[in-house]
Amino acid sequence: MSRSKEAFKQAKEVIPGGVNSPARAFAAVDSDPLFIEKGTGALIYDIEGNEYIDYVGSWGPMILGYNHPQVIESLQQQLMKGTSFGAPTEVETELAKLVIGAVDSIDQVRMVNSGTEATMSALRLARGYTGKDKIIKLKGCYHGHGDSLLVEAGSGVTTLGISGSPGVPDEIAEETIVAPYNNLEAIEEIYNTYQGQIAAVILEPVTGNMGVIRPQVGYLEGLREITATNNSLLIFDEVMTGFRLAYGGAQELYEIEPDITTLGKIIGGGLPVGAYGGKKEIMEYVAPAGPVYQAGTLSGNPLAMAAGIETLKLLQQPGVYSMLEEKAAKLEKGFKDNIKQLEVAADVSRVGSMFSIFFTDKQVIDYKTAKESDTDAFTTYFKQMLAAGIYLPPSQFESNFVSLAHVEADLDATIEANYNALAKVKKK
């Protein structure tokens, strides 16, 4: 038995399913997970010492690669001062200023400990601010595991085929109305049916959690207009896309200002962080400035702030996002050439350094079309890539992440492995 298999067996005895987050269990690709020992740059190592070129990046945060020396140094300096005080620290203001400087729609920001907390809090704020209860979420978008948002979600929920979850009361799920992504008429219809009752629309402006799907031309503009006309809020969940697709996130790329933005992943530099922010008028509804309660013992944790500050500063360097674009575009071209040459029914869907390969010959525009992908083909592909030393997200319905640490040789090796893996898919 491999060491990872043995470790998984032991973990399963003491941790439900052996993992602390379901997607890690590799169930969707009919495999056992690798247990990871360490990472450096674009490489991770399992506990047996096998090396992999990694495109998971801890599911998004590791945009600089693992163990970036400046992030580590910054963490070490903070570590010597203490790990948590539950009192205000200047590093919280420093990270807040960096976030506000990056994202035009944010005047004030509150730090929390995860993306889930960020979206839960953003919904409470939207409801408190508008005095309305219903939320529109989009099919296949994942916003963490809060009750209101675990309805037709993507990510692990899609992968495992769980629609919603036991434990979410119907009365709560009923307040969430689900619409297909990239479909403005559906949103308009919901607004007509529930006039004056919708607090907010929440979405991933570019989706990652049903695979990477881009918003069609005019879609985000349409959402901005409909929400504003109806006095409800537009919430961009940029936990994945924030500081990833551009320094100012998807909203910079598509030039749309939401009312509330949720963040996480990259802003914690690999430590547990989430955040939500928006215009001052809305954010001042949050306690203690206002009546909407939200709190956290470890919120604004100084270690997480230190890692986040250093990461954002490094991302401010000129040329960073064009470098990411070049690396990811090279992969896209290499993969597309392979797909064409081998005549496999697949396509690469990419925005900046996020991409997916959908195993379908149809155009993927929403959850329904994403779900038409051939997941058996994906499983074959995934296993072949892993055997070739390429570590991918273990599901058809996730995004791959390119980091600044991926070098030409990594990309070339990945394109070659992709050719061989696609050849296996074709043979099946």
- The residues assigned a catalytic role are 142, 237, 265
Pairing between strand 176-179 and 198-203?
unpaired
Q: Report the nearest approach of ligand PMP to the CB of residue 245 (Å).
A: 12
- As a whole number of angstroms, the distance between CA 169 and CA 150 comes to 11
What character string, x for contact with ligand PMP (CB under 6 A) and - otherwise, covers 198-237? ------x---xx---------------------------x
251 binds ligand PMP, rule: CB under 6 A: no
- As a whole number of angstroms, the distance between CA 67 and CA 76 comes to 12
Quickly count: other Cβ atoms within 10 Å of residue 92's Cβ: 20
Pairing between strand 108-112 and 134-138?
unpaired
Rounded alpha-carbon distances, angstroms, from residue 167 to 174, 175, 188:
14, 15, 30
What character string, x for contact with ligand PMP (CB under 6 A) and - otherwise, covers 163-202? ----------------------------------------
- Beta carbon nearer to ligand PMP, 237 or 410: 237
Residues 58-87 that bind ligand PMP (CB under 6 A): 59
Rounded alpha-carbon distances, angstroms, from residue 128 to 175, 301, 423:
14, 26, 54
334 binds ligand PMP, rule: CB under 6 A: no
Pairing between strand 260-264 and 274-278?
antiparallel
- Pick one of 57, 264, 277, 394: the residue that binds ligand PMP (CB under 6 A): 264
Q: Report the nearest approach of ligand PMP to the CB of residue 112 (Å).
A: 9
Q: Report the nearest approach of ligand PMP to the CB of residue 250 (Å).
A: 10
Q: Report the nearest approach of ligand PMP to the CB of residue 242 (Å).
A: 9
Q: Report the nearest approach of ligand PMP to the CB of residue 335 (Å).
A: 23
- Beta carbon nearer to ligand PMP, 39 or 249: 249
- As a whole number of angstroms, the distance between CA 208 and CA 181 comes to 12
Reading the block at residue 113, the tokens are 């400990």
What character string, x for contact with ligand PMP (CB under 6 A) and - otherwise, covers 84-123? ------------------------------xxx--x----
Helix and strand counts by DSSP (H, E) for the chain: 15, 14
Positive or negative torsion for Cα 241, 269, 325, 103: positive
Residue 306: closest CA among 76, 63, 46 = 76
Stretch that binds ligand PMP, among 142-150, 316-324, 328-336, 382-390 (CB under 6 A): 142-150
Reading the block at residue 315, the tokens are 């991302």
Residue 5: closest CA among 28, 26, 29 = 26
Q: Report the nearest approach of ligand PMP to the CB of residue 400 (Å).
A: 13
Q: Which residues bind ligand PMP (CB under 6 A)?
A: 59, 114-116, 119, 142-144, 155, 204, 208-209, 237, 239-240, 264, 274
